[in-house]
């Protein structure tokens, strides 16, 4: 099975939804008629992303807002306090039916510059919406809801205004007979220490007598524990997550197609302000159903196989959110998320990302190599897109050597410049750089041949420069495996 791609070329000087620049975006794109999961994995690991069947790569040293591929080490991920708060909020809603009044979690977007946003994209400028994973060369999608690096908390209510404060009376200063004031933090710490000492004393007394020894300290709860927290029998709501292959031959996918498409249209019009004609069934098919990835299975692969899937979130018997993902040989790659606008306060962007990390960990038990969760693009030059760096530990892809570097080492460099090389080894190079253009595989008149043979047959002006740019961006290994269609 071969991947078959067609060059679309450089797309430049078009509007950027991250910084608002009218002519700042630059990327190279190609149309994937078919693609193996291994070829797409290798492309993603060179900074490519897909939107539908359109696959593109930002020209990092030219585009106004460099987009760095980011991956999370799913097996070592530990939810932060904010993540735990999000999961508790969902649990409270399911058990008691209390919908939060404010959305305090950042949305997850599957970043792609030509596609549509995963949540509300108002990324860097308040009035600009930008796509996340490209839909097609001619239509961009806004990045998932670009949200701040630190999730915004609902503003605390201001104290009522009661007039100007009274002026202090003159005096001689602090009363020396009283102890100095102490910080609340120190007082809380002291109380914790006292309680701990009391527990230890009680434990020692129990062990000295006939009573059983005190129980060992409880361990921190895992992500899976927090997600699967048991609900009471009289819980107000029931949430179920179903994995459905993106295939028009799959009965479950077809049975839910109309409901899923209607939800997409409602999301796009309410959250992104699209006109109904911009988010109809044809757009839904092209953007989130048409995938170049061929379904594949392997003896050491996940039970559901590799390829493109919809993770459907069913609340009380109806779909309220859909996470579009690609399952690849070493990762789960987030593509897009859309949800019912009435559920915005549940911060489904964050919640779905945590569920997808847990799903990655589940798949790793079936396929040992599959241990990363790709969040799309990290855009440090846009503050509202930095939230992806909170899913730690995580790495960014060096745009010059394509080596993975811990994000902690990358951020200081990005503070100095929007574009940066992360690999600190000055002698390091791209290990899959283009070595031999003649060995690039070409599909011409239904025949597969190396570029050298094709160039001898070709009539008219040379296309060597265009093919060389393509091969340099995909790398020698992919250039020798994928078929480049030439008319």
Structure tokens at 409: 């080492």
Residue 118 in contact with residue 336, Cβ under 8 Å? Answer: yes
Please state, in angstroms and rounded to a whole number, the distance separating the CA atoms of residues 354 and 108. 10
Which residue in the block uniquely carries the two structure tokens 């007039």?
163
Closest CA to 393 of 149, 78, 148, 107: 78
Alpha-carbon distances, residue 441 vs 31, 100, 397, 474 (angstroms): 16, 55, 27, 12
The two tokens of residue 149 are 């690096």
Select from 55, 35, 1, 4 the least CA-distant residue to 483.
4
Phi and psi, residue 181, nearest 5° = -65, 145
88 within 8 A of 363, measured Cβ to Cβ: no
3-state secondary structure of 319: strand
Q: In what order do the strands lie in the sheet with 394-397?
A: 239-245, 307-315, 318-327, 331-339, 372-378, 68-73, 394-397, 404-406
Q: What are phi and psi of 437, to 5 degrees?
A: -65, -30
Sheet containing 483-485: give its strands across. 49-51, 54-58, 25-34, 4-14, 483-485, 441-444, 447-450
Phi, psi (deg, nearest 5) at residue 435: -110, -35
Rg (the chain; Cα; Å): 27
DSSP string over 407-460? HHHHHHHHHH-SS------TT---TT----GGG-EEEETTEEEEHHHHHHH--S
Residue-wise burial string across 325-362, b where 16 or more C-beta atoms lie within 10 A, e elsewhere: bbbbbbbbbbbbbbbbeebbebbbbbbbbbbbbbbbbe
Query: pTM for the whole thing?
Result: 0.79
Q: What is the pLDDT of residue 155?
A: 38
- Torsion 12-17-19-22 (CA) sign: positive
Q: Facing residues of 27 across strands?
A: 11, 58
* Residue in 57, 148, 154 with CA at minimum distance from that of residue 388: 148
Non-local CB neighbours of 263 within 8 Å, separated by 6+ positions? 319, 320, 321, 322, 338, 339, 340
**By three-state DSSP, how is residue 461 classified?**
coil
Strand partners, 116: 133
Dihedral class, residue 431 (left if φ above 0, else alpha if ψ from -120 to 50, else beta): alpha
196: CB partners within 8 A, 6+ apart: none
Res 371: pLDDT: 98
Structure tokens at 477: 């290994």
Distances (CA, A) of 236 to 93, 99, 276, 294, 302: 8, 11, 33, 40, 34
Mean pLDDT in consecutive groups of 10 residues from the start of the chain, 487 residues: 96 88 92 98 98 97 97 97 96 93 56 42 32 35 38 39 44 57 70 73 51 48 92 94 97 98 98 95 97 95 97 98 98 98 96 98 97 98 94 98 98 97 97 97 97 93 96 98 96
Give the alpha-carbon dihedral of 111, 116, 121, 125, to 10 degrees: 100
Please check whether residue 397 is in contact with residue 43, taking contact to mean a CB–CB distance below 8 angstroms.
Answer: no
pLDDT at res. 162: 37
């Amino acid at each position: 099975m071969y991947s078959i791609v067609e060059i679309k070329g450089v797309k430049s000087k078009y509007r950027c939804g991250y910084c608002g620049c009218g002519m700042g975006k630059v990327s190279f794109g190609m149309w994937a008629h078919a693609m193996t999961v291994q070829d797409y994995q290798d492309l993603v690991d060179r900074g490519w992303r897909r939107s539908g069947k359109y696959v593109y790569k930002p020209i990092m040293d030219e585009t106004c807002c460099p987009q760095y591929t980011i991956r999370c080490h799913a097996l070592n991920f530990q939810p932060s306090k904010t993540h735990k708060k999000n999961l508790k909020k969902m649990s409270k809603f399911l058990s008691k039916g209390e919908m939060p009044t404010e959305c305090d979690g950042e949305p997850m977007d599957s970043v792609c510059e030509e596609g549509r946003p995963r949540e509300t994209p108002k990324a860097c400028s308040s009035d600009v919406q930008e796509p996340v994973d490209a839909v097609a060369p001619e239509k961009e999608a806004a990045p998932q809801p670009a949200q701040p690096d630190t999730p915004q908390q609902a503003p605390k209510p201001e104290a009522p205004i009661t007039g100007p404060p009274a002026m202090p009376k003159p005096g001689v200063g602090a009363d020396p007979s009283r102890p100095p004031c102490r910080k609340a933090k120190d007082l809380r710490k002291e109380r914790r220490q006292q309680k701990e000492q009391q527990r230890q004393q009680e434990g020692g007394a129990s062990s000295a007598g006939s009573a059983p020894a005190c129980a060992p300290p409880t361990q921190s709860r895992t992500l899976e524990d927090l997600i699967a927290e048991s609900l009471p029998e009289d819980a107000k709501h029931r949430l179920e997550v179903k994995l459905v292959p993106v295939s028009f031959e799959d009965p479950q996918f077809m049975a839910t197609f109309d409901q899923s498409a209607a939800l997409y249209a409602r999301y796009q019009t309410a959250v992104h302000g699209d006109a109904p004609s911009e988010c109809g069934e044809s757009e839904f098919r092209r953007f989130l159903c048409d995938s170049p990835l061929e379904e594949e299975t392997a003896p050491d692969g996940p039970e559901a196989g590799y390829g493109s899937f919809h993770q459907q979130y069913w609340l009380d018997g109806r779909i309220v959110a859909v996470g579009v993902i690609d399952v690849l040989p070493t990762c789960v790659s987030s593509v897009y998320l859309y949800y019912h606008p009435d559920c915005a306060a549940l911060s489904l962007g964050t919640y779905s990302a945590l569920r997808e990390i847990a799903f990655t960990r589940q798949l790793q038990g079936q396929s040992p190599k599959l241990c990363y969760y790709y969040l799309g693009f990290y855009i440090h030059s846009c503050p509202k897109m930095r939230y992806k760096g909170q899913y730690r530990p995580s790495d960014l892809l060096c745009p010059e050597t394509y080596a993975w570097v811990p994000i902690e080492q990358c951020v200081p460099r990005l503070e100095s410049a929007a574009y940066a090389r992360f690999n600190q080894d000055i002698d390091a190079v791209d290990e899959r750089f283009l070595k031999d253009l003649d060995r690039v595989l070409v599909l011409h008149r239904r025949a597969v041949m190396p570029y050298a043979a094709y160039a001898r047959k070709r009539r008219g002006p040379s296309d060597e420069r265009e093919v060389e740019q393509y091969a340099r961006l995909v790398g020698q290994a992919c250039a020798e495996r994928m078929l480049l269609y030439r008319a």
